[in-house]
Amino acid sequence: MRKVYGYIRVSTREQNEERQRIALQEAGVPCENIYLEKQSGKDFDRPQYQHLLEKMQKNDLLYIKSIDRLGRNYDEILQQWRILTKEKGVDIAVLDMPLLDTRRGKDLMGTFLSDIVLQVLSFVAENERDNIRQRQAEGIAAAQARGIRFGRPPKPLPRQFHSVYRRWKAGKITGAAAARECEMPLASFRYRADIYEKSKT
């Protein structure tokens, strides 16, 4: 007899686990057959997914909420889809995309259409991930150009930094000696001295 399973994946930053769980339960997936993964979708090295893969038998049915819950890497999504449908003989239904339901159209045309839709959606999912990375990089670069600093704020300069800096700049003491007087590593002293010099111009 066909068993019905559901797979949920959320990254550690996301909080939409319940939304996926409710959708799977409404589709008729028993609670005990829902496998939850709190992990990135960059690859399929996921304990719960691997356990589910071992558990499913031919003609079982797997529900997922959307194609990006299965994964975010275009090639790996296609590979896993073929493992599930061709090697394991499992049916897959993507709730957000009714066209991706292998129970329908078991003939050649139905399989062809499912493959085309899957490839397009997988490409879109990966392309969007690349676009997000690019937008983040562009946003960080633009913010840095406006003088916005990222990371922890630097420690305040020691009270004696100005006088030490002037002596070091005049060649009266070495950089190592200046760093010791300011109680900081030499590299930190040089870095802060460079910023200090630029702020004076």
Q: Is 111 strand, coil or helix? A: helix
Distance CA 171, CA 178 (A): 11
Distance CA 200, CA 165 (A): 12
Structure token pair of residue 149: 């600093």
Distance CA 68, CA 79 (A): 14
Cβ burial of 172 (10 Å; 0-12, 13-18, 19+) is exposed
The pLDDT tens digits for 122-166 are: 677 667 667 777 777 777 777 777 766 666 666 788 889 989 999
The pLDDT tens digits for 24-52 are: 999 999 999 999 988 765 666 788 999 99
Which sequence positions are flagged as catalytic?
Answer: 11
Look up the pTM and report it. 0.57
